Structure 1
Amino acid sequence: MKRNSTLIAAVVILLIAAAAAGWVFVGDTMTPKETVAEFYRGKTIELKIGYSPGGGYDGYARVLARHMGRHIPGNPTIIPTNMSGKGSLLLTNHLYNEAPRDGTVFGIIGRGIAMEPLLGGDETNFLPTRFNWIGSLNNEVSVCVASRASDVRRWEDLMTRELVVGGTGSGSDTDTLPTLLGNMFGARLTLVSGYPGGSDILRAIEKGEVQGRCGWSWGSARNNDLITNGQVYVLLQMALQKHPDLPNVPLIMDLARNDDDRSVLLLLFARQAMGRPFVAPPGVPEDRMAALRRAFDLVVRDPVFLADAEREGLEIQPANYQVIQDVIEHVYQVSTPTLVARASALVSN
Structure 2
Amino acid sequence: MKRKTLSFLLILFVLSILSLPNPLKAAPYYEGKVVRIAVAFPPGGGYDRMARILARHLPKHIPGKPTLIVENMPGASGMIGANYVYNMAKPDGLTIGAINRVTPSAQLLKIEGAKFDMLKYSWIGSAAVETSVLAVRADLPYKTFEDVKKAKEPINIGATGPGDTTYNFPILIKQFLGLNLKLTTGYVATADILLATERKEVDGYASAYSSIRPHIARGLLRPVLRSKIPSAGIEKLPAVEDLATDQMGKTILAMYAVSDRVGRPYVAPPGTPADIMNTLRDAFAKVTKDPELKQEADKLMMDVDYIPPEECLKEIRFFLNQPQEIVNEYKKYIKF
Query: Which structure 2 segments of 5+ residues have no match?
Result: 1-24
Partner of 1:264: 252
Partner residue of 2:116? 126
User: Shift of the alpha carbon at 1:296?
Assistant: 0.7
Which AA in structure 1 matches 2:99? I
Check conservation: 1:43, 1:76, Cα contact below 8 A: yes
Q: Secondary structure at the match of 1:187?
A: coil
Is 1:163 the counterpart of 2:169? The answer is no
- Secondary structure at 1:80's aligned position in 2? strand
Sequence identity percentage: 31
Q: CA deviation at 1:297?
A: 1.1
Residue in 2 that maps onto 1:228:
217
The separation in 1 between residues aligned to 2:194 and 2:90, in whole angstroms, is 34
Aligned partner of 1:67 in structure 2 is 57
Q: 1:119 Cα shift?
A: 3.1
Decide whether the 8 Å contact of 1:46 with 1:106 is kept in 2.
yes
Contact 1:205 1:211 in 2 (8 A): yes
Structure 1 stretch 183-192 or stretch 102-111: which is displaced more? 183-192
Among 299, 303, 323, the alignment partner of 1:311 is: 299
TM-score by length of 1: 0.82
Shift of the 248–40 alpha-carbon distance from structure 1 to 2, 3 Å rule, reads closer
Q: Distance in 1 between matches of 2:302 and 2:165?
A: 19
Point out the structure with max Rg over C-alpha.
2
Equivalent position of 1:186 in the other structure: 178
- In the alignment, residue 242 of structure 2 is paired with which amino acid? D
Letter in 2 for 1:338: E
Contact 2:284–2:306 under 8 Å retained in 1? no
Find out whether 1:217 has 2:213 as its counterpart.
Answer: no
For the residues of structure 1 that align with 2:35 and 2:272, how far apart are their CA atoms? 13
In structure 1, C-alpha distance between the alignment counterparts of 2:135 and 2:315, rounded to whole Å: 27
Superposition deviation, residue 153 in structure 1: 4.3
Q: Distance in 1 between matches of 2:289 and 2:249?
A: 38
> In the TM superposition, what are the counterparts of 1:4-23 in structure 2 within 5 Å?
none
Alignment of 1:1-349 (within 5 A): 38-148=28-138, 152-156=142-146, 157-158=148-149, 160-214=152-206, 216-222=207-213, 224=214, 226-239=215-228, 241-333=229-321, 335-348=322-335
Structure-2-length-normalised TM-score? 0.85
Contact persistence 1:86–1:170 (CA under 8 A): no
Deviates more, 1:142-151 or 1:267-276: 142-151
Structure 1 unaligned regions, length at least 5: 1-33
- Alignment check: 8 A CA contact 2:162 2:335 kept: no
Aligned residues: 310
Q: CA deviation at 1:231?
A: 2.0
CA contact (8 A) 1:52 1:199 kept: no
- The CA distance in 2 between the partners of 1:193 and 1:282, in whole Å, is 34
- Asked if 1 retains the 8 angstrom alpha-carbon contact of 2:59 and 2:67, the reply is yes
